[in-house]
Amino acid sequence: MALKSYKPTSPARRGLVLVDKSSLHKGGPVKALVEGKKKTGGRNNKGHVTSRGIGGGHKHKYRKIDFKRRKWDMSATVERIEYDPNRTAFIALLKYEDGEQTYIIAPQRLAVGDKVVAGEKVDVKPGNAMLLSQMPVGTICHNIEMKPGKGGQIARSAGTYVQLVGRDGGKVIVRLNSGEQRYILGSCMGTVGAVSNPDNSNTTLAKAGRNRWRGIKPLTRGVAKNPIDHPHGGGEGRTSGGRHPVTPWGKPTKGARTRKNKTTDRMIIRSRHAKKKR
């Protein structure tokens, strides 16, 4: 997919850079594969705001994606490639030989009319899903499971991928986009290829309203507030906000580590922080 820039016919058009979606399906999604999606506005069941910066946005229908790919040894044809408002990647509509239709995350270089198949060991081509233990070393893949049968959790966003760099017993060693290397059970599934829409990170929204369409509200910086409203507030002239960035409630933020569940640390070979495992 190429990027599309616009003539500066208005201040909102000047600098606007979007992904060209002209080759995607023009109509709506398959009705049987969508369900309603209710917006929360960042509020919990008591009406209290628990996530700031959320509100408004266009109404979405949630597309049900097959992250598991457990329909083995039955080929499917790619009917069309679609836009999905719930994720940065594009999705592909598959039609199996028995007539069943499903959505999957579309990998790069997957075209309408292509055949894909999932199985224990299948050909290494974009869109095919197989066990990680059967993938050749060096394969680029995405939609990687962390637990067998749970469905893909790693590398699902636009342009992301994982590289299989080795094997060790019943596990495989993968390198993530973050630089982390970790073990994953060989009985987990993965899909060959990198995720579609790699140009998503190169877009420029050019106006605040486009973020509001996405359901993102603006947030006032702490240093622009008064000291009663934020720990970074107050001070003479322009201040940076102190040595340790915190939230309005005094909790460390902007890079402070909040990871609690460290039971999978034994699976991490090299941390993404390029230091010792944490």
pLDDT reported for residue 142: 97
* Residue among 170, 115, 96, 105 at smallest CA distance from 142: 105
What is the per-residue pLDDT for 1? 66
Do the beta carbons of residue 200 and residue 88 sit within 8 Å?
yes
Domains of the chain: 21-38+58-200 (2.30.30.30)
pLDDT of residue 66: 97
Give the Cα separation of 167 and 161 in Å (integer). 18
Q: What is the pLDDT of residue 275?
A: 60
Contact between residue 127 and residue 104 where contact means Cβ atoms under 8 Å apart = yes
- C-alpha distances out from residue 11 to 8, 19, 133, 205, 208, Å: 7, 19, 53, 12, 12
- Residue-level pLDDT, tens digit, the chain, 278 residues: 699 999 999 999 999 999 999 999 999 999 999 999 999 999 999 999 999 999 999 999 999 999 999 999 999 999 999 999 999 999 999 999 999 999 999 999 999 999 999 999 999 999 999 999 999 999 999 999 999 999 999 999 999 999 999 998 899 999 999 999 999 999 999 999 999 999 999 999 999 999 999 999 999 999 999 999 999 999 998 888 788 999 999 999 988 888 888 888 899 999 888 765 44
- pTM reported for the whole predicted model: 0.91
**HEC sequence for the chain:** CCEEECCCCCCCCCCCEEECCCCCCCCCCCHHHEEECCCCCCECCCCCECCCCECCCCCCEEECECCCCCCECCCEEEEEEECCCCCCCCEEEEEECCCCEEEEECECCCCCCCEECECCCCCCCCCCEEEHHHCCCCCEEECEECCCCCCEEECCCCCCCEEEEEEECCEEEEECCCCCEEEEECCCEEEECCECCHHHHHCECCCHHHHHHCCECCCCCHHHCCCCCCCCCCCCCCCCCCCCCECCCCCECCCCCCCCCCCCHHHEEECCCCCCCC
pLDDT at 278: 46
Distance (Å, whole) CA 126 – CA 193: 5
**What is the Cα–Cα distance from 278 to 273, expressed in whole angstroms?**
9
Token pair, residue 201, equals 């990170």
